[in-house]
Amino acid sequence: MASVEVSLKEMMTGVEGSLGAAVVDYTSGMALGTLGGGKDLDLTIASAGNTDVVRAKVRTMETLGLKSRIEDILITLANQYHLIRLVTGRNGNGLFLYLVLDKDRSNLAMARHQLKRVEEKLEV
């Protein structure tokens, strides 16, 4: 099992082109931890904003009666990927992993694979 800090490091170092990472509680909108980012990428604000995205998708699925679970949500910008992976398992309910990637330097399939690995080991 991995802590939030270890998970953030694995997210950032495990995927080439990573710009920032966060572990977020979407019930409160608060980031439990962040790594990376900068003046053009405030991970605290991005985490709170993406909480609204996750909540909206969860509500929509409930309204539609969909019983499947969300694995990940991808937001594609001109030069970045914003990847959100909901954490499942006994300790992860209400959490998501958030990873921002440089679109030109990263491999989206590898990023999804790495987030899945991190999610499986995360212990909060």
Q: How confident is the model at residue 10 (pLDDT cuts 50, 70, 90)?
A: very high
> Which DSSP letter does residue 106 get?
-
- The mean pLDDT of the chain is 92
- Statement: the pTM of the whole predicted model exceeds 0.85: yes
> What would the mean pLDDT of 27-39 be, rounded to a whole number?
92
